[in-house]
Structure 1
Amino acid sequence: MPRENYNDLLAFVMVAREGSFTRAAAQLGVSQSALSHTIRSLEARLALRLLTRTTRSVSPTEAGERLLLTLAPRFEEIDAELAALSELREKPAGTLRITSAEHAVDTVLWPRLERLLPDYPDIKVEITIDYGLSDIVAQRYDAGVRLGDQVAKDMIAVRIAPDMRIAVVGAPAYFARKAPPRTLQELAGHDCINLRLPTYGGLMAWEFIKDGHEVKARVEGQLVFNNGSQILRAALAGFGIAYLPEDMAREHIATGRLVSVLEDWCPTFPGYHLYYPSRRQSSGAMAVLIEALRYRA
Structure 2
Amino acid sequence: MARRNLNDLLAFVTVAREGSFTKAAGALGVTQSALSQAIRGLEERLEIRLLTRTTRSVATTSAGERLMNAIGHRFDEIEAELDALTELRDKPAGTVRITCGDHVLHSVLLPRLTPLLREYPDIKLEFDVNYGFRDIVADRFDAGVRMGDTIDKDMIAVPIGPPLQMAVVASPDYFTAHSVPKTPADLTGHQCINQRMPTSGGLYVWDFAKRDRKLNVRVDGPLIFNTTPPQIDAALAGLGISLLPEDEVMTHVAAGRLVRVLQDWCPRFAGYHLYYPSKRQPSPAFSLVVSALRFRGSRAQ
TM-score by length of 1: 0.68
Contact 1:171 1:257 in 2 (8 A): yes
Tell me the amino acid that sits aligned with residue 278 of structure 1. Answer: S
Write the mapping of 1:84-163 to structure 2, written as runs, cut at 5 A: 89-163=89-163
Taking the aligned partners of 1:218 and 1:127, their CA distance within structure 2 comes to: 34
Q: 1:266 to 1:93 in 2, by over 3 A?
A: same
Decide which structure has the larger Cα Rg and report it.
1
Q: Deviations over 1:69-92 (max 9, x none)?
A: xxxxxxxxxxxxxxxx66754411
Q: 1:96 to 1:296 in 2, by over 3 A?
A: same
Other-structure match for 1:180: 180
Question: How far off is 1:107 after superposition?
Answer: 2.2
Question: How far off is 1:286 after superposition?
Answer: 0.1
Contact 1:91 1:284 in 2 (8 A): no
Contact 1:89 1:284 in 2 (8 A): no
Q: Deviations over 1:63-119 (max 9, x none)?
A: xxxxxxxxxxxxxxxxxxxxxx66754411111111112232232212212232122
Question: How far off is 1:181 after superposition?
Answer: 1.0
Query: Which runs of structure 1 show a deviation greater than 3 angstroms over 4 or more consecutive aligned residues?
Result: 85-90
CA RMSD of aligned residues (A): 1.6
Tell me the amino acid that sits aligned with residue 136 of structure 1. Answer: I
Taking the aligned partners of 1:112 and 1:143, their CA distance within structure 2 comes to: 16
Write the mapping of 1:1-297 to structure 2, written as runs, cut at 5 A: 89-278=89-278, 280-297=280-297
Q: Deviations over 1:269-289 (max 9, x none)?
A: 101111111365311110100
Question: How far off is 1:254 after superposition?
Answer: 1.8
Q: Partner of 1:197: helix, strand, or coil? A: coil
Count of aligned pairs: 213
Taking the aligned partners of 2:254 and 2:141, their CA distance within structure 1 comes to: 38
Q: 1:272 to 1:87 in 2, by over 3 A?
A: closer
Tell me the amino acid that sits aligned with residue 200 of structure 1. Answer: S
Contact 1:102 1:227 in 2 (8 A): no
Question: How far off is 1:262 after superposition?
Answer: 1.0
Contact 2:162 2:270 in 1 (8 A): yes
Taking the aligned partners of 2:138 and 2:87, their CA distance within structure 1 comes to: 30
Q: Partner of 2:232: helix, strand, or coil? A: helix
Taking the aligned partners of 2:281 and 2:162, their CA distance within structure 1 comes to: 28
Taking the aligned partners of 2:278 and 2:210, their CA distance within structure 1 comes to: 38
Q: 1:146 to 1:87 in 2, by over 3 A?
A: closer
User: Unaligned stretches of 5+ in structure 1?
Assistant: 1-84
Taking the aligned partners of 2:119 and 2:226, their CA distance within structure 1 comes to: 35
Instruction: Compare 101-110 and 284-293 and name the one that shifted more.
Output: 101-110
User: Unaligned stretches of 5+ in structure 2?
Assistant: 1-84
Taking the aligned partners of 2:264 and 2:254, their CA distance within structure 1 comes to: 18
TM-score by length of 2: 0.67
Taking the aligned partners of 1:137 and 1:270, their CA distance within structure 2 comes to: 23
Contact 1:99 1:143 in 2 (8 A): yes
Tell me the amino acid that sits aligned with residue 233 of structure 1. Answer: D
Taking the aligned partners of 1:289 and 1:279, their CA distance within structure 2 comes to: 17
Tell me the amino acid that sits aligned with residue 244 of structure 2. Answer: L
Taking the aligned partners of 1:263 and 1:101, their CA distance within structure 2 comes to: 24
Other-structure match for 2:80: none
Instruction: Compare 194-203 and 128-137 and name the one that shifted more.
Output: 194-203
Taking the aligned partners of 1:146 and 1:86, their CA distance within structure 2 comes to: 28
Other-structure match for 1:11: none
Q: 1:234 to 1:277 in 2, by over 3 A?
A: same
Other-structure match for 1:52: none
